[in-house]
Amino acid sequence: MTSPTSMLHVRVDDETKLQATQALAAIGLSMSDAVRLFLRRVVVEQSFPLELKVPNAETRAAMAESRAMIASRRPRFATAAELFDDLEKNGGK
**Number of domain units in the chain:** 1
Query: What domain range is 56 assigned to?
Result: 14-89
Position 6 in a domain: no
Long-range contacts of 53-56 (CB under 8 A, 24+ apart): 53/27, 54/23, 54/26, 54/27, 55/26, 55/27
Q: What pLDDT band is residue 19 in, cutting at 50, 70 and 90?
A: very high
Position 1 in a domain: no
Cα angle 76, 82, 85; round to 5: 120
Position 3 in a domain: no
Position 54 in a domain: yes
Position 2 in a domain: no
Inter-residue contact 42 to 48 (CB < 8 Å): yes
Q: What is the structure's pLDDT at 76?
A: 79
Position 7 in a domain: no
Alpha carbons 90 and 93: distance in angstroms, whole number: 6
Position 36 in a domain: yes
Q: What is the mean pLDDT of residues 45-68?
A: 86
Greatest alpha-carbon span in the chain: 55
Position 30 in a domain: yes
Stated pTM of the model: 0.51
